[in-house]
Amino acid sequence: MNIKITRLFASILGIGLALPGLAADWQALPDKVPAPADNPPSAAKIELGKTLYFDPRLSEHGTLSCNSCHNLMAAGDDNRPNSIGMHDAHGGRSAPTVWNAAFYSVQFWDGRAATLEDQAKGPMVNPVEMGMGTLDVAIGRLQQIPGYQTQFAAAFPGESKPVTADNVAKAIAAFERTLITPNSPYDRYVKGDKAALSEQQVRGMDSFAALGCTACHSGANFSGPTLPVGTGFFMKFPTFPGSAFDAKYELVKDDGRFAVTKQEADRHLFRVPTLRNIALTAPYFHTGTVPTLDLAVRVMAKTQLDKELSDAQAADLVAFLNALSGEFPQIAMPRLPATPNMSVIPPVDPHQKKPTAG
């Protein structure tokens, strides 16, 4: 059944995909994420990345940090349909969680970045996100902050001018590779603790496989097979268009990966998202239009598997998905390095587009 559906998807997509493992191939989350050869982690680099992740000076008005929309005190997103950036701009897609993002082989809903390093540079200059205009503007600010000179030097020893956009991205990515949530009830269950899941959760787990969810949501991260970095695991959403959900939840407005490649075969293709901590990241999908997990599993069954769930099936699936909420590491707040006697945030009132201070 899984194999059949997976082949159907591959056929619809018209592309060759590495097929996910058998439904029964349940995997626990690894304890570590491998780092790329050109960005080995160090304590100094991870601490720098954490500091940058929380630093709102990387946004035009000094009001938004990475954490504003990918909140590490919560489930790594903002529990909103879409995020709100500079000048009250609303993003076009719902913010995906940063937790376990390190396990993806591509980044963003449309896979337009191959690596966490590439991804990290995007929001800083996106006008509807942090709105810095150019990376040079961002780096110009950081270079005025004495504490960052020290921190970058420690994180990138031997570099004569370490405060660069590439190093900002490397530090943030190194920090993000620590943002994983192991030891969910599901992980404990598949490692042998049969008491970790309730009976209903086990029923939901069985349904999850039997219905065919594992055709896409496979592997340790429930985001598909382990592919080489840069090789995305994408799926068409909706695969079965035409249901009432399309209009109700605005499912076909967004061209998905087509906007990146301009290939017709990529229209409405999206990266298969992780289901880890999915119970904590409502509202759902790239649209952020589906308010509850109960509705989300029904939408998925209908649009991706052409199936109607019974209330009991939906409840079982929701119960199982709640077992994917993992352990969030305790994080000590960084201290943002200061700029004594001045601020690097320009005193511009965006309503007036002129400086308010001389």
Residues with a catalytic annotation lie at 129
Helical (H) or strand (E) element with 11: helix 2-13
Verify binding: residue 244, a second copy, rule CB under 8 A. no
Verify binding: residue 334, a second copy, rule CB under 8 A. yes
Between residues 12 and 338, which has the closer beta carbon with respect to a second copy? 338
Verify binding: residue 310, a second copy, rule CB under 8 A. no
- Other CB atoms within 10 A of residue 263 CB: 11
Helix/strand/coil for 353: coil
- Token output for 53: 């992740």
116: left (phi over 0), alpha (psi -120 to 50) or beta: alpha
Verify binding: residue 279, a second copy, rule CB under 8 A. yes
Verify binding: residue 354, a second copy, rule CB under 8 A. no
Query: Do 317 and 304 touch, CB atoms closer than 8 A?
Result: no
Between residues 105 and 287, which has the closer beta carbon with respect to a second copy? 287
| Binder of a second copy out of 98, 290, 299, 309 (CB under 8 A) | 290
Verify binding: residue 280, a second copy, rule CB under 8 A. yes
Verify binding: residue 153, a second copy, rule CB under 8 A. no
Verify binding: residue 261, a second copy, rule CB under 8 A. no
- 41: CB partners within 8 A, 6+ apart: 35, 174, 177, 178
Angstrom CA distances, 317 to 1, 205, 210, 313, 350, stand at 18, 7, 11, 6, 47
- Report the C-alpha gap between 205 and 190 in whole angstroms: 11
# residues near a second copy by CB under 8 A: 61
| Binder of a second copy out of 124, 322, 323, 324 (CB under 8 A) | 322
- In degrees and rounded to multiples of 5, residue 40 shows phi and psi of -65, 145
| Binder of a second copy out of 44, 75, 102, 197 (CB under 8 A) | 75
- C-alpha atoms less than 13 angstroms from C-alpha of 79 in its C-beta half-sphere: 9
Angstrom CA distances, 28 to 51, 271, 325, stand at 30, 21, 12
Shortest separation between residue 173's beta carbon and a second copy, angstroms: 20
Query: Do 207 and 297 touch, CB atoms closer than 8 A?
Result: no
Between residues 107 and 289, which has the closer beta carbon with respect to a second copy? 289
Between residues 134 and 292, which has the closer beta carbon with respect to a second copy? 292
Verify binding: residue 72, a second copy, rule CB under 8 A. yes
Between residues 17 and 64, which has the closer beta carbon with respect to a second copy? 64
Verify binding: residue 251, a second copy, rule CB under 8 A. no
Task: Name which of 227, 93, 240 is nearest 218 in CA terms.
Answer: 227
Residues from 195 through 224 that contact a second copy (CB under 8 A): none
Verify binding: residue 134, a second copy, rule CB under 8 A. no
> What residues line the site for a second copy (CB under 8 A)?
54, 56-57, 61-63, 68, 71-75, 78-81, 83-84, 87-88, 90, 248-250, 279-280, 282-283, 288-294, 318, 322, 325, 328, 330-336, 338-345, 347, 349-351, 356-358
